[in-house]
Amino acid sequence: MDVSSILDSLNDAQRQAVTAEHKPLLVLAGAGSGKTRVLVHRIAWLVQVEGLNLHNIIAVTFTNKAAAEMRGRVEEMLEVPAAPLWIGTFHGLAHRLLRRHWQEADLMQSFQIMDADDQKRMVKRVLREMDLDENQWPPREVCWYINNKKEEGIRPKHIVAGEDELEAIRVRIYQAYEDACARTGLIDFAEMLLRAHELWLNNPHLLAHYQRRFQHVLVDEFQDTNTIQYAWLRLLIGKTGTPFVVGDDDQSIYRWRGAKVEHLQRLATHFPELQTVRLEQNYRSTGNILKAANAVIDNNTGRLGKELWTDGHDGDLIQIFSAYNEREEAEFVVTRIRQWQNDGNERKESAILYRSNAQSRVFEEMLIQGGIPYRVYGGLRFFERAEIKDALAYLRLCANQNDDAAFERVVNTPTRGIGARSVTMVREYAQANSCSLWHAAAACVADELNFPRRAAKALHVFLVLINEMSKAVEKLDLGEQVEHVVFSSGLIEHFKKEKGEKAEARLENLDELISAASGFDVDEVVNAMQSDDYEDPELQLDPEEVSPLVAFLAHAALEAGEGQADAWEDCVQLMTLHSAKGLEFPLVFMCGLEDGLFPHQRSINDSAGLEEERRLCYVGMTRAKEHLYISHAERRRLYGQDNYAQASRFLSEIPTQLVHHIRPQVSVSRPVMPTLRRAALVREPAPEGLSLGQAVMHKKFGPGVVMNYEGQGSHARVQVNFQDVGAKWLVLAYANLQVI
C-alpha cells in the first residue's frame, strides 16, 4: 500500500494522530492547525492502509456544514462515494437512528421535528391548557428549563421537587409538554438526542449491533459536547470502540448552551489508555498574531496547555484603534477596507467581527454610505422564514393530521374566518377528549348545537381543504406536492394581496421552496434511513419506506439552510465572533473591545464566564491570517444611552511590543461632546468635580470611569464602570472617589 499520498502533506504531530494505533486518542488541535485534514486523513488511513470498511466508521460533527465538508473531502481522497460512512451532526445521526427504529424508540412513524419556534408555540399552548399565566411562566424560560433537563438526560419522573412549589409546577409543565409532543408526534431537538440515547439504553441488542459495527468513532469539536451527547458517545464506544476525538479547550465558547469543556479532561478518566497528540503548528496566521493570541489565552486557568507557532514570518503588528465613539470606529474600519480594496484585494477577504449583533448597525450604515457591498451573517434562515414555515405546516398536516402545531399555525393562515374564539373552542374540545385538534375540529363541525354556524362552516372549509390536499398530493412526486400545497393553500394569493417588497420576497421564497423540493435528492436521504446493515440478520429494520415528504420535512427542520444569500458576491463579511469560529480572513477587524461589551457585562463578574469571553477573544484573533485590527470606542450609544467604557481588559493582555496604537487624527472633527453638554445641562447638575467620562479611583475597586449619576447633595449617587469589577452604583458621600 502506498501511504505517501496520505502522509506526505502532514507534519509530525498530524502524522502521529493519523497513524495512531487502535487506542483512544485525543487530538488537541489548535486554531488553524489542520484538524479537519487530520480527521479526513485518519479515515483514509483506516480504509486504505488498515483495510477497514467505511461501513465501520462513524464521524460526528456539530454543524451540517462541517459534516458536508468532511464527507466531500473523504470522497475526494478515496475517490469513491462515501455513502457507507456514517457522518453527520449529533442530531442528524440521532434522527437517522430514530427513523430506523421508530418503534423501539416509541415514536410514531411519521414523527416530525420541531424547531425552537415550534417548541415555544407548543409550550405556550401547554401553559394555556394548564391555566398558567405566560407572564409568570415566560415560554422562553420554560423552553430553556425543558431543554436543559433533556440535555442532562433528565425526564420529569426523575425530578424530585420536594418542598419547592415552583419546581413542582415546572415539572408539571415539562410533563404536560411531553404528553402533548407524544400525542402530536412531534419531537424537539433536545428530544432527538435524549431519545436516541434511551433507544440504546432500552434496547441492548440495538446498542450491541451499533457497537459491533462502528469500531471507530471520530468526533469533531469535542469541547462543544453537552452531557447527553457525551453520554451517547460513551454508550456507542462501549468497551470495544475506539474514540478518535478532536477538540480545543481554548476554543470552547458554548458553555452557555450546555457545552462542557470538562469532557475533555474527563476523557482521560473514562478511557485510561487515552493518548494525547497536540497540533500546535499553525498554518493560518502570522507570527505576531499568534504571539498575541497566545498571550491573551495564557491568562486562563486550567488549560490543557498548547502554544501555537508558525514557521512563517512575523507580519504586521496588531493595530489597535481607539475611537472617540462608535461612528468614528466604523468610519475607521470602512476607510481601511476601502484602502484594502484599492490595493487590489477582494472585499470578501475582510471581516468585521463583533460581540453582539446590535453592533452591526453602524457598520452597515457606513458601508452603505461608502457604497461598499457587505453581507451580514446570522438572522433568519431559509426554512425559518414565516412563509416557508406556513407552507411546511400544510405539508405536515398532509403527512400527519394530528400535528397540532401545524394545525394551529395554518388553521387561519391565510385568514379564512376562523377566529381566536373558534380555535379556543376546538382546543378545549381537544383537551377535554384528549384528542388532536384535527379530530376536535371535525367533532366541532359535526356538533352543530354548540358551535356557531358561521364558524363551523369556516372550519369545515379548512378541513375539506386539508383533506383534498392530502388526497391530491398522494400520487404526486415531491416537487409537485409542494407546488400543489403552496398554491391550493391560498398562501400565494395571500401574499400577492399584501404588496410591498417584503411580500415580493415571500413569494420568491415560496417559489424557491418548490425548487428546493423538486431538486431534493429523495433517494439519498431515504436510502440513508433504510438498511445498510444487510449482513446483520439480528437487526430488524422496518421494511416500509420513509416517504419523500417526511424525509423532506425532516431535512427542512434539521438543516435550516443558509442565511442571507449570495455568498459568491464580493462582500465585506460582518458577523459575531461566535459565528466566525472555524473561518479565516486575511484582514480582520475586531470591534467594540470595551469592558462591559466585550467581555460582556453579564459575564464579567464570574471567572468562568470571563474565561469564556477570553476564549472568544482568542477565537476572534486567530481568525486573522495577515492583518488584525482591534478597535474600541471611548463612548458608545447603546439602548439610546451614551455609555463610557474603558478599553477591554483583553487589550492590555497583548504584549505592548506586538501592538501599534493608532490614534484618531486631530483633524478629524471631534465634536466637543455636544450631546454630553446638553445632557449635563438638561439633567441635574453633576456632583461637584465629576462629569461623565471622568476617570476616577476607588480605594477598594480600583480605577474606573463615571458612567452616570443621579441625585443631589448627600444623596448623590454615581455609576462607575470599574476596570476590575465592572459597573457599580456608589453613594458619592461614602465612595471617597479620587479624580485621576
Partner DNA sequence: CTCCGCGTGGTTTTT
Partner DNA sequence: CCACGCGGAG
Chain contacts with DNA (rule: CB under 7 A):
62-65, 89, 91-92, 115-116, 124, 134, 189-190, 253, 256-257, 355-358, 378, 412, 415, 417-420, 558-560, 575-576, 578-579, 600, 602-603, 609, 613, 637, 639-640
Integer Cα distance of 322 and 324 in angstroms: 7
Integer Cα distance of 126 and 182 in angstroms: 13
| Residue of 104, 188, 191, 221 marked active site | 221
* Minimum CB–partner distance for residue 419 and DNA (Å): 3
Q: CB-based burial of residue 708 (10 Å sphere; 0-12 exposed, 13-18 middle, 19+ buried)?
A: middle
Cα distances from 435 to residues 13, 123, 371, 490, in angstroms, run 60, 18, 57, 27
* Minimum CB–partner distance for residue 355 and DNA (Å): 7
Annotated active-site residue 535? The verdict is no
Q: Say which DSSP state 340 is in.
A: H
Cα three-residue angle 332-337-340, rounded to 5 degrees: 130
Cα distances from 421 to residues 124, 182, 210, 252, 571, in angstroms, run 17, 26, 51, 49, 49
| Residue of 220, 250, 331, 594 marked active site | 220
Please give the grid coordinates belonging to residue 369. 454610505
Annotated active-site residue 220? The verdict is yes
The answer to whether 338 and 370 have CB atoms below 8 angstroms apart is yes
DSSP for 42-83 reads HHHIIIIIS---GGGEEEEESSHHHHHHHHHHHHHHH-S--T
Integer Cα distance of 156 and 583 in angstroms: 40
Query: Coil, helix or strand for 706?
Result: strand
* Minimum CB–partner distance for residue 52 and DNA (Å): 27
**Residue 106 identity:** D
Integer Cα distance of 736 and 409 in angstroms: 59
409/484 with CB nearer DNA: 409
* Minimum CB–partner distance for residue 499 and DNA (Å): 10
22/496 with CB nearer DNA: 496
Q: Say which DSSP state 185 is in.
A: T
Annotated active-site residue 8? The verdict is no
Integer Cα distance of 384 and 386 in angstroms: 6
Please give the grid coordinates belonging to residue 153. 438526560
Annotated active-site residue 601? The verdict is no
Cα distances from 332 to residues 321, 588, 632, 668, 672, in angstroms, run 8, 13, 11, 11, 19
The three-state (H, E, C) secondary structure of 281-329, written as one string: ECCCCCHHHHHHHHHHHCCCCCCCCCCCECCCCCCCCEEEEEEEEHHHH
Q: Which of 206, 210, 224 is nearest to 102 (CA)?
A: 206
Annotated active-site residue 118? The verdict is no
Integer Cα distance of 659 and 665 in angstroms: 18
* Minimum CB–partner distance for residue 345 and DNA (Å): 26
| Residue of 251, 286, 310, 413 marked active site | 251
44/192 with CB nearer DNA: 192
| Residue of 35, 71, 99, 336 marked active site | 35
The answer to whether 459 and 441 have CB atoms below 8 angstroms apart is yes
Report cis status (omega within 30 of 0) of the bond before 204: no
Annotated active-site residue 221? The verdict is yes
Integer Cα distance of 705 and 697 in angstroms: 8
| Residue of 623, 625, 636, 649 marked active site | 623
303/578 with CB nearer DNA: 578
13/376 with CB nearer DNA: 376
Which amino acids are annotated catalytic?
A: 35-36, 220-221, 251, 623
